[in-house]
Structure 1
Amino acid sequence: MTIFDRVAHLPLTVDTVSTTRRESDTSSGFLRKTTLFSLSGDGERGQGEDVTYDAEDHDALAEVSDDVFGLEGRYDSFADFSASLDDVNLFPTKDPERETSRHYRRWALESAGLDLALRQNDTDLATAVGRERDPVRFVVSTRLGDPPSAERVEMLLDHDPDCQFKLDPTSEWDDALVTTLADYDCVRILDLKGMYEGTDVDQAPDLELYDRVINGFSEAVIEDPAFTDETRPLFDGHEGRVSWDYPITGVESVDELPFEPSWLNIKPSRFGTVESLFDTIEYADERSISLYGGGQFELDVGRDHIQLLASVFYPDGPNDVAPSGYNLPDPPADLAVSPLEPGDDPSGLDF
């Protein structure tokens, strides 16, 4: 029985659908907006968060009625609920600003449906799939400003001397900054963002930058490099440190990578469906590929969901699932430290 099979059979009833907007300033200098979907039925409520990045897409959704998707009804199984979404136009008034957002919104509804199905059947995810919720180790993902400096890392280390980080190197990083950061011995992942196109965080392949971080952080995982004739040779002998994030949307996408990976960053919303996510986790487990969870500035239950998935499937990875307070420009003093402990008496997708 596959992981998905263990939840696919759960029936659910959707009586009402509602949406709520969320927004917050972030440490990366932009106003984050998300939409929370709530599916209610039989006295229970399941929720999922649409992490689409473009505010225009959230604004367009806010202009339509909550029942526009026609999801109300009785479903014999969660698999049936998921299949019904194949025929739903999730962007009814306009196409999304970018195609990746179709998966993000699909995941919001899939996760809300799964949350509801688990609750209506008086169970939680870990129990349903026959696993435990373990304490979750996390890293803090942050950018270092313009011009870049180690100040934010140092501020967070003052809060927690054992804090570990996922950082986004840019061409402005110089040898002195790399040396300073490396001396703190706290950087677990370096996200080169070489696969992004048309975003505010694009980082073009940079031979000097790649060489600087590969050698400056000898133990760190290197995420999403852009391979060119010039940059690819830099990774000879370092393939085991390379991880992939942006391209990973399902099993087929893993098979299409330049070489069999040792690491994958699992961002549930990139997969769109619960089945694709679970199939990919299972595929990676069978091949001893190390996994860790990824965050997308979730503002509500989406953060809880990625922490839960990390807890159930890859708790010891360098999970980019730190509490949302770490994303604030001025983090509060009472931030939780790693590892995060799961709560008591879970239901649905509670962590």
Structure 2
Amino acid sequence: MFDRLAGLPLLVESYDFVRLTGGERSTTLLRLHGGGFRGLGEDIMPSDADHDAFEAMTDLPLAGSWTLVEFLDALATFDQWGGVEPEFGDFARPFRNWVFESAALDLALQQAGVSLGDALGRSPRPVRFVNSFGLGEEPSVDGVRARLELYPSVGFKLDAAPAWTRGIITELAGTGAVRTVDFKGRYGLEVEGDFAPVYEAVVELLPEALIEDPHEAFVSVLPAERIAYDAPIKRAADVGATRTVNVKPSRIGGIRPLLELYAHCESNGVVMYGGGMGELGPAREQVQLLAALFHPDAPNDVAPPPFNLPEPIPGLPTSPLEVSSPPIGFRLK
């Protein structure tokens, strides 16, 4: 699929930044300008210091006439962090690379007058999405119920915690809306508390839910068909014998490895669903578009950003997210 995009002409005349703010979070929008068009990419680093440093980078060697593949290859030759070590070290470097690559893809497609779906020969379909959050230090299902009252078709991807009791999990089962339980067991973090009763109750009481990133100590006692991996998946080679994967473009960090991962999963019958990383603006629509093209019927963690506000608000899109014919570029609308 990358061959369909590699030769797209790309003219970059200038670039600038815009800070986006939503709730307690900020992101930085990179805007590439060329030929009367504007390509967009979004930096999802969590701290204002990261965004300040990024927006201070005013002399990046981005201007020129390129093909898309030439531009992507050039990204590897310069410092994308302005001499500042990213907060999370090498783990974060793909996040920044994706900002540049997604903006370049958006601009190149606009200059060519085609949408991403047209360029890849794929048609988007309505996207199922889930709302992702934790249940609090003293777990409560109230947040799930409040959202279901407004949006009964929306499912949930919930962050498990040792404080989850069998009673809480029974309440969650009663909603019929839990699609994924994320144990966050693949980030190299020390396990605090006893997760064993939580795993046991999730397997028994939420039999339809995926179990994402389980801790290694519990993998052998879990149903293999329910295990999904997120944090370890950065390239097609990482999939191995995994049956279900969460595809996060920011974590993968590049168009080429992303398309290789999609192709590998489709060829080998690996189930995919999409994930975001706290995007507030265009990047959330970009991951929604990718979900619409590659795995629309999965429990995609790509809910519109207002779903992540502490309290639910009315008037948001419902699931599945309707997708009309996307406009030219790497964008949903």
How many Å apart are 1:343 and its aligned residue? Answer: 3.4
Match of 2:301 in 1: 320
How many Å apart are 1:187 and its aligned residue? Answer: 0.5
**Root-mean-square deviation over aligned CA pairs:** 1.6
How many Å apart are 1:24 and its aligned residue? Answer: 2.0
Match of 1:308 in 2: 289
How many Å apart are 1:345 and its aligned residue? Answer: 5.2
- SS of the aligned residue for 2:31 comes to strand
How many Å apart are 1:44 and its aligned residue? Answer: 0.7
Question: 2:115–2:326: 8 Å Cα contact kept in structure 1?
Answer: no
Question: 1:196–1:203: 8 Å Cα contact kept in structure 2?
Answer: no
Question: 2:128–2:321: 8 Å Cα contact kept in structure 1?
Answer: yes
User: Aligned ranges for residues 111-260 of structure 1 at < 5 Å?
Assistant: 111-197=102-188, 206-228=195-217, 231-235=218-222, 238-255=223-240, 260=241
What is the distance in 2 between the residues matched to 1:120 and 1:343? 21
- SS of the aligned residue for 1:335 comes to coil
TM-score of the two chains, using structure 1 as the length reference: 0.91
* Deviation string, structure 1 residues 8-40 (Cα, Å, up to 9, x no partner): 110100000111112222xxxxx2221111101
Question: 2:146–2:312: 8 Å Cα contact kept in structure 1?
Answer: no
How many Å apart are 1:251 and its aligned residue? Answer: 1.3
Question: 2:26–2:46: 8 Å Cα contact kept in structure 1?
Answer: yes
* Deviation string, structure 1 residues 94-149 (Cα, Å, up to 9, x no partner): 11011222100100110000000000000010000000011111111121122110
The amino acid that maps onto 2:197 is E
What is the distance in 2 between the residues matched to 1:275 and 1:111? 11
Query: Which of 68, 74, 90 matches 1:78?
Result: 68
The amino acid that maps onto 1:220 is A
Match of 1:28 in 2: none
What is the distance in 2 between the residues matched to 1:105 and 1:336? 29
Q: Unmatched 5+ residue regions in structure 1?
A: 26-30
Question: 1:12–1:74: 8 Å Cα contact kept in structure 2?
Answer: yes
Question: 1:194–1:205: 8 Å Cα contact kept in structure 2?
Answer: no
Question: 2:143–2:311: 8 Å Cα contact kept in structure 1?
Answer: no
Match of 2:331 in 1: 350
Match of 2:52 in 1: 59
How many Å apart are 1:179 and its aligned residue? Answer: 0.4
What is the distance in 1 between the residues matched to 2:5 and 2:192? 39
How many Å apart are 1:214 and its aligned residue? Answer: 1.7
Question: 1:170–1:203: 8 Å Cα contact kept in structure 2?
Answer: no
Q: Unmatched 5+ residue regions in structure 2?
A: none
The amino acid that maps onto 2:264 is Y
How many Å apart are 1:161 and its aligned residue? Answer: 2.1
How many Å apart are 1:344 and its aligned residue? Answer: 4.1
Question: 2:276–2:301: 8 Å Cα contact kept in structure 1?
Answer: yes
